[in-house]
Amino acid sequence: MKLLLILSPGVVTTISKLTKMCVLRLTPDNLFFVLSGKVANGGVSMWCELSQANFFDEYQMEGVSSEDNEICLEVTPENLSRALKTVQNAKTVKVKLTKKHCPCLTIAAELPTMSSINRVVTHDVPVDVIPRRLWHEFKEPNMPDFDVSIYLPPLKTIKNVVDRMKNLSNFLVMEANLNGEMNLKIETDLVSVTTHFKDLGNPPWGDDASQDGGPSQSRDPEAMAQARVDIRKLQQFLVGQQVNPSKAMCNIVHERVVHLILLHEDVSLQYFIPAVA
Amino acid sequence: MPLSTQSQADDEQYVLVASLDNARCLSNILKAITFKDHAIFSATPNGLKVTVEDSKCLQANAFIQAEIFQEFTIREDLVGFQVNLTVLLDCLNIFGGSTVPGVSTALRMCYRGYGYPLTLFLEEGGVVTVCKINTQEPEEPIDFEFCSTNVTNKVILLSESLKEAFSELDMTSEVLQITMSPSQPYFRLSTFGNSGNAHYDYPKDSDMMELFRCTKTQTNRYKMSLLKPSTKALALSCKVSVRTDSRGFLSLQYLVRNDDGQICFVEFYCCPDEEVE
Amino acid sequence: MDCVVTGGNVKVLAKAIHSLSRIGDELYVEPQEDGLSLRSVNSSRSAYACFLFAPLFFSRYTIPSGHTFRCKMAIKSVQAVFRSLASLEKTVEKCDIVLDEQKNRLTFTLHCKHGLLKTHNLSFQDSESLQAVFDKDSYANVFRSHPRLLVDTVVHFPPSLEEVTVSVSDERMWVRNHVEEEDQSKAMLTELCLASDEFDHFAVRIHNSVTFCLKELRGLLVFAESTGLPISMYFDEPGSPVVLSVTDSVLEGNFVLATLSDDPNHRKNNSRRALTPPPPADDFMNDDIDSYLIAMDTSMAPGPSATGPPTPPLADSTCSKQPAAANNRTRLHSEEEEEEDDTADSSKPPNKKFCSLFFGSVIPPSPQMSTQPVTNQEVLASDSEDDV
């Protein structure tokens, strides 16, 4: 297996806020950060896709074999993020899969300096190479058969509201309809709070959106689909978002799951939060 | 549900309706007295008084005059209720309490009477939040019988000069001792901590001293734990009046200027520490 | 003692105290003929720092003639005097420092803007002299740079990182995080390579590596950066302390940090070490000998009184520097550890790897406590007092 890439740091910080460990899957065209919903993560899943062509000036990879041309690694995004942060002002950054004391992603950067000789920093981030028999666990999750899909308001606004609601309650109800309305609600012995968003718009999903062609045409536009979620999981998702994505969407499967999608330049991030009773 | 479309008929059910273009004018001043959850609200046609007490030794009052509000309608001479102040503050800041000029949260606060919740309508950038906070019957605030005719010593200082002293207070000292005297040291704050003692002396002719009217040398000690909460009010204020009466009771009055340049008052009463003469 | 500090020097003094607080919990104060000395040592005695402010640093400097006086106090309480570091320059016009031996009181009086007078009366304890004896000028490798270079270097390492390893060749310096052997498989390794021409001075006589604590270096950087003074670094063999210095015409600061002994062999010796019996329980000296990096002398209780035969520090270094033995020592010597804790309030357990520069002087004279034999001092350090 060979991997050499020159990386402009970015997305990894966001991912490091979401999870301690995740899987980095590399194919000739894409990179994926994957978290598959295990009980330990509270059932949360994540799928982040980066198109390599837009991130790297140079990208060489060679997988296990020509038909399975992939590399699958377990990484600690926080380590990656820290390494990439310290090389933010670097003239060049190279990321390479290396065999050191253990398999490592080695990040080497040339830092700007007055000296004629470059100041070089290297970070060896240990990784676990995931054997092929386990790859099936890290495939792209299916688009859920959602009841309502809606564009999200500015994430900063949601974050402010969710942060305050977190002070008041552990669970939050997210509800939305096909009329572009979304509510965030909490209710406790002391207080009930509802934040109403409107005119958000509903994304026009094509035929491939779900097996039966997206939300049924017959659904009452006023009818709310709702899911009660652990506020911390929603907070975790919001805390990592440092830039406003060009598109942010939310799909709700009534009382089952909240599926959040962010699209920004050439990154897409999907995040699944299971509903609780 | 925008705030402006509240119908006249709706308003008539309420004994108290108060509106603010900028909820921070209220939340800021309430923050200054948030050291216990329970707050007693007393509204009269003159405005709103909010009282918080601690262990019968400390009382804080925030006064927000009726003129501060864009609308202040009261249908009884006195409307009183008790709410959880921490919850109220989270609600008032639901949109993050932005300090960015031009971005503010509009507030409409309504109360129907005994047994009803305090209802807040908050709006920022077209997003509306409705909060219903449970209320209780108000307790009777303690009367500290602090009367201006019994005031022995009084100084008015620019808050700036006290802020530094309070931020540096030796918290290992159980008490803060205040000496006020017509002769040296005029106005002295002392602490007695683990590693020694400290005295902060303010001369009477300092340009930080706006008024100096001391008639008799008085040295009193106050529990640090009781005075520490007043630091929040100090931080917000521009001037502070320090008074002691013949019994050694302490009154601290803070003049607070809000975002719009209007003036509110926060006042603390504190009993002297009994163990010391 | 009665001295006065004015203007920008108040901040320099405050920053020095602040950086000393990164070393230990106590501040040792000693007014000397050649200036005011402020020192600190950490609880495991693997780090020592000293600032000397020359009489010219002060606008008045008078000390009692005829006898020496020393005291120590909680460094936190002195830090509290200068709590508002950021506003210090704007608010404080003058600082008086008066030592009242009769009342056991050190008084700091800050004369601030608008006539505000802040008086801090701090109580203190008598103390013996705390002095590291080292001869940095004899060290093989010497470097000097603007603090910015080191600041830009340590920024690559997480704040939680404890130790770094510095290696040098004729043209290069490498700085990398030190990782315990048992943690190595999962640890992230970071290495920075600096070219010699990034330094103002770069003189290497021995190609080697030393490992020392980053925390104290960060402490000195806070001081050096705010004063803009270049930092000099001196080091020699692994096991000898690294010395970091800042100097100008009116002050000198030296940070003396233990280094791990014999780092390159650290790994392969490990299995052997586990079998080595711990040093005798009554020999307080011996177990420290390997990592003994700074000889400390005491002017109160001089003279050799070691209970065990001093082992030549380098000759037998592999048999006693291992974590296993250090652990044993901690257990076997619990009495002594307690004694140490009495004098140097240790908020954290002693650092086992560096396990102590040996400072007889900071421990109250006690029959169980051996002071450093003179012969030993001469092995690793000269007895010149470069720090003062």
- What chain C holds in terms of domains, given with CATH numbers, is 2-129 (3.70.10.10), 133-257 (3.70.10.10), 265-380 (no CATH)
Burial state string for A17-45 with b = 16 or more CB within 10 A and e = fewer than 16:
bbbeebbbbbeeeebbbbbbbeeebebbb
- The 10 Å Cβ neighbour count of residue A140 is 11
* Contact between residue B126 and residue A153 where contact means Cβ atoms under 8 Å apart: no
pTM: 0.81
CATH code given to domain B3-133: 3.70.10.10
CA-based nearest residue to C344, from C11, C6, C30, C41: C41
Q: What is the pLDDT of residue C64?
A: 81
Span of A87-91, A270-274, C135-139 with lowest mean pLDDT: A87-91
**Sequence-distant (≥ 6) Cβ neighbours of residue C147 within 8 angstroms:** C221, C224, C225, C228, C229, C230, C231
Mean pLDDT of chain B: 92
* Contact between residue C137 and residue C386 where contact means Cβ atoms under 8 Å apart: yes
**Sequence-distant (≥ 6) Cβ neighbours of residue C170 within 8 angstroms:** C196, C204, C207
Please say if the pLDDT value at position A163 is more than 60: yes
* Contact between residue C32 and residue C63 where contact means Cβ atoms under 8 Å apart: yes
CB atoms B198 and C74 under 8 Å: no
* Coil/strand/helix, residue C81: helix
CB pairs under 8 A between A and C: 57
Annotated domain spans of chain B: 3-133, 148-270
Q: What is the pLDDT of residues C15-38, one digit of tens each?
A: 999 999 999 999 999 999 999 999
Q: What is the pLDDT of residue A218?
A: 77
* Contact between residue C120 and residue C80 where contact means Cβ atoms under 8 Å apart: yes
Residue count (chain B): 277
pLDDT bracket for residue B270 (50, 70, 90)? very high
Q: Percent helix, strand, coil in chain B (nearest 5)?
A: 20, 45, 35
* Contact between residue C188 and residue A125 where contact means Cβ atoms under 8 Å apart: yes
Q: What is the pLDDT of residue B43?
A: 97
Greater pLDDT, C355 or A64:
A64
CB atoms C156 and A125 under 8 Å: no
* Coil/strand/helix, residue C180: coil
Tell me the pairing of strands C47-53 and C60-62. Answer: unpaired
A262 burial class (0-12, 13-18, 19+ CB within 10 angstroms)? buried
* Coil/strand/helix, residue A56: strand
CA-based nearest residue to C223, from C381, C66, C18, C67: C18
Residue count (chain C): 388
* Coil/strand/helix, residue A149: strand
Q: What is the pLDDT of residues B41-72, one digit of tens each?
A: 999 999 999 999 998 999 999 999 999 999 99
Q: Convert C84-99 into a string of H (helix), E (strand) and C (coil).
A: CHHHHHHHEEEEEEEE
Span of A183-197, C197-211, C348-362 with lowest mean pLDDT: C348-362
Measured between beta carbons, which residues in chain C are less than 8 angstroms from residue B168?
80, 83-84, 118
CB atoms C184 and A124 under 8 Å: no
Angle between helices A155-168 and A231-239 (to 10 degrees): 140
Measured between beta carbons, which residues in chain A are less than 8 angstroms from residue C161?
none
Measured between beta carbons, which residues in chain B are less than 8 angstroms from residue C87?
164
Picking from B194, B198, B206, the nearest residue to C114 by CB comes out as: B206
Q: How far is the C-alpha of B124 from the C-alpha of B103, rounded, in Å?
A: 8
Q: Which residue has the tokens 């270094």?
A: C317
Is the torsion defined by CA of C174, C178, C183, C187 positive or negative? Answer: negative
Q: What is the pLDDT of residue B153?
A: 97
* Coil/strand/helix, residue A235: helix
Q: What is the pLDDT of residue A117?
A: 76
Span of A185-199, B67-81, B138-152, C293-307 with lowest mean pLDDT: C293-307
Q: How far is the C-alpha of B12 from the C-alpha of A114, rounded, in Å?
A: 74
* Contact between residue A191 and residue B133 where contact means Cβ atoms under 8 Å apart: yes
Mean pLDDT of chain A: 85
Q: Please spell the DSSP secondary structure of B152-211, one letter per residue.
A: EEEEEEEHHHHHHHHHH--TT-SEEEEEE-SSTTSEEEEEEETTEEEEEEE-TT-TTEEE
Q: Which residues from A are below 8 Å from B when comparing CB atoms?
A: 153, 156-157, 160-161, 163-165, 167-168, 189-199
Q: Percent helix, strand, coil in chain A (nearest 5)?
A: 20, 40, 40
Distances (CA, A) of A90 to A86, C292, C360: 8, 40, 48
Q: How far is the C-alpha of B143 from the C-alpha of B152, rounded, in Å?
A: 19
pLDDT bracket for residue C383 (50, 70, 90)? very low
Distances (CA, A) of B47 to B43, B74, B265, C174: 6, 9, 12, 68
Query: Looking at domain B148-270, does it have CATH number 3.70.10.10?
Result: yes
Q: What is the mean pLDDT of residues A146-164?
A: 94
ipTM: 0.89
Q: List, in order of start, the domains of chain A with CATH numbers.
A: 2-138 (3.70.10.10), 148-274 (3.70.10.10)
Q: How far is the C-alpha of C12 from the C-alpha of C7, rounded, in Å?
A: 10
Span of B177-186, B267-276, C106-115, C193-202 with lowest mean pLDDT: B267-276
> B148-270: same fold as B3-133?
yes
Among A156, A168, A181, A200, the residue to mutate for chain B (most B Cβ within 10 A): A168
Measured between beta carbons, which residues in chain B are less than 8 angstroms from residue A238?
none
Q: Which residues from B are below 8 Å from C when comparing CB atoms?
A: 161, 164-165, 167-168, 170, 193-203, 205-208
